[in-house]
Amino acid sequence: MNKFIKSLVLLFFSLGLLAACQQKPTKVIDESAHVYEKKAVLIDTRNPFLYESFHIEGSQNLWWEDFLVLTNPKKKTRVLDPDLLQTVERLASKGIHPDKTIVLLNDKADAIENKKWKWLLSYLEIDTIEMKSINDLKKSLKGQNNRFAVAEPQKPWKLLTSEDFQKDLVTKKAKNCFLQWKPKDCL
């Protein structure tokens, strides 16, 4: 029994010694997110697979195909969602609003996806839209904190254009400027 008590005391002493030798946890200093512009919203327009593979922290993904609806299942005909109020609600949930600067990001600044979104957002009464390549944005911020704050959801805005104009936009112009990109019809 005496040997058992000695072993037990030795075990507790060893555990105490090991516990005393452990390093204290490192404190992590949480740097606040870099604000590209106070009112800027970063939108990555690449397909969801590429976005999930790599994206700038704080950017949101908008894939143009997610805003199409199927009108004829047999022919697989798709069009821009004719309910522009629903489109505005979805965009507002991503932080997009006419009061914000929208920065469209892709592998190339003049990528077709950026052009499609710039076209649609301008028709949805958003005036301040920039198109940038991801690499150009990273280069312009070299040496700075490259974390961005995720844009907070906004309240949907009311479109000032007439319902006839909105219907014309969806039925006539969106086919050549959002489903496809035909520059002569869209600029």
- Mean per-residue pLDDT over the chain, rounded: 84
Query: What is residue 43's three-state secondary structure?
Result: strand
* Rounded-to-integer distance, Cα 38 and Cα 70, Å: 38
- 63, exposed or middle or buried, with CB in 10 Å at 0-12, 13-18, 19+? middle
Does residue 131 contact residue 108 with C-beta atoms inside 8 Å?
no
Query: Which H/E stretch holds residue 130?
Result: strand 129-133
Model pTM score: 0.78
**Model pLDDT for residues 54-84, shown as the tens digit of each residue:** 999 899 999 999 999 988 788 888 999 999 9
Alpha-carbon distance of 88 to 8, in angstroms, equals 70
Strands (E), 14-126: 40-44, 60-61, 68-72, 77-80, 101-106
47, two tokens: 């397909």
DSSP letters spanning 133-170: EHHHHHHHTTTS---BPPPPP-PPPPP-S-HHHHHHII
Q: Which residue has the tokens 């000695």?
A: 6
- Residue 141: band (very low, low, confident or very high) from pLDDT cuts 50, 70, 90: confident
What sign does the dihedral 78-155-186-113 (CA atoms) show?
negative
Of 47-51, 156-160, 169-173, give the lowest mean pLDDT range: 169-173
| pLDDT of 21 higher than 90 | no
